[in-house]
Amino acid sequence: MANTNKPDGFTPAYHMYGGVIRPAKMRIASGYGTAIYSGDVVTLSSGYVEQAGATSTPVGVFYGVFYTATDGTPTFSKVWSASTATQGSADAEALVYNDPGIVYEAQFTAGTPAVSFIGNKYTLSTTAGSSNNGRSKEGVTATTSSGVALCVGFASQPSNEIGAYARGLFTFPTNTFAV
């Protein structure tokens, strides 16, 4: 059965060292102008979470965000909508999986992955997420130049074959918090 081309971002699969997988609280600046969807890879800029580019140094994967809307309503969302203003321009509280020991499942969006891909770094495919479900549409390309996503294997599920649009397992060895 052929794999389906349906990237849905990065989902925590397991922890390499048996640790607990939970998101950490980080900050998004009020009014930050780029949308971030649950499952998007994020980076840090001056201490603030921002959408990562294809080869940016990742801090982790975005889960969701808490903030107080300008009308005083406490709000949780799986999406940071571009240019969201918060009450009093206060920072929003991003929830980010930032532990360097987390292994994520994501789809190869281009190329034809093979077993030989394991152990190599690949570039992120940074596609805007879905406004319907708040989920990322990011994945990984088969381009190894300047890659930040290290393939450590392939997802073990009956609907996944190693080949076009395979679902791989990835870490971020250049994670901001990796030592």
Residue 144: the pLDDT is 66
Domain boundaries, the chain: 21-97, 100-171
d(CA 37, CA 125): 14
Q: Mean pLDDT of successive 10-residue segments in the chain (179 residues)? A: 89 95 97 96 96 92 97 97 96 97 95 92 89 93 81 94 95 87
Token pair 């997420």 is found at 129
Nearest to 175 by CA among 106, 105, 97, 117: 97
Note the pTM of the prediction, 2 decimals: 0.94
Residue 93: the pLDDT is 98
Residue 147: the pLDDT is 86
Token pair 């499952």 is found at 39
| Cα three-residue angle 121-126-130, rounded to 5 degrees | 135
| Whether the Cβ atoms of residue 64 and residue 47 lie closer than 8 Å to each other | no
Please, which residues have CB within 8 angstroms of residue 1's CB and are 6 or more apart in sequence? 159, 161
Tell me the three-class secondary structure of 74-90, residue by residue: EEEECEECCCCCEHHHC
Question: How many alpha carbons lie under 13 Å from residue 167 in its C-beta half-sphere?
Answer: 22
* Rg of the Cα atoms in the chain: 16
d(CA 115, CA 148): 19
d(CA 29, CA 48): 6
Residue 177: the pLDDT is 87
DSSP class of residue 131 equals T
